[in-house]
Amino acid sequence: MRATIPTKIAKFSIAALVVTVTLAISGAAFAQEGRGGGPAGAGDGNGVGPSASGPAGPGSSGPGLAVSPDPSSGACDVGPSLPTPPMIGEAGDAVKALSRATESYIRNCGCATQACVADALDKYAEALAQLTPRLPPQLQDEANVVAQAAQRVRAARTKAEALHALHDAIAIIHKDVELVRAEDPDHPRLTRGGDFVAETLNVASLALEKGGGL
């Protein structure tokens, strides 16, 4: 009897160890599947499917983000695809979205001729005009400044003249931004719209300078 008890205890310990190992393996497999390591279509454990981390499809940009146009899709043939400015929210955020989309078009579509830059800036100016009433008074002429720059770029007889037109427009925007800062230095967000417009004009200038041509 004394020899039997230890034997039973040993058998029970082995059985408990087998159960523990089995449960551990099952738990690890379940955790791996929950992290997206399971079959296709499984979530990531947070209710987000694999598509959330995959490449964004056409037009799948979030707020304020610009989807790079694909030249092979013909997207570059119709000019920049600009988002519709929202009726609410900060005007600076809306200007940012328009600016990023225009810059993405210029960079990714090889927009480096006077005609292409002028056309892109025309569309940009039209979109900016919808935001004019929501901008600080000193920045409400932004759309006109961009439109006039586009006109001068298109009519320029040389690349140097076209670049001069863009530099003049950038200088005007910078001056207007400084006026806003001088009157209300405690609210730097008021100048964001002007900063984004100046940046977009600079992107157009660099593209034209590197590419050149009518």
pLDDT per residue of the chain (214 residues) written in tens, 0 to 9:
444 444 443 444 444 443 343 444 444 443 343 333 333 333 333 333 333 333 333 333 334 444 566 665 567 877 888 888 777 778 899 999 999 999 999 999 999 999 999 999 999 999 999 999 999 999 999 999 999 999 999 999 999 999 999 999 999 999 999 999 998 887 778 899 999 999 999 999 999 999 866 6
Q: How far is CA 61 from the centre of its chain?
A: 7
pLDDT for the residue 78:
74
- For the chain, the distance separating the N- and C-terminal CA atoms, rounded to the nearest angstrom, is 105
- 197 within 8 A of 166, measured Cβ to Cβ: no
Query: Which runs of consecutive H residues, i.e. helices, occur in 77-191?
Result: 91-108, 114-129, 142-155, 159-183
pLDDT of residue 137: 93
Q: Tokens 């670049």, residue?
A: 163
CB 170 within 8 A of CB 121: no
pTM of model > 0.85: no
Least Cα distance to 163 among 201, 110, 198, 124 occurs for 201
List all residues 6 or more positions away from 28 whose beta carbon is below 8 Å from its beta carbon. Answer: none
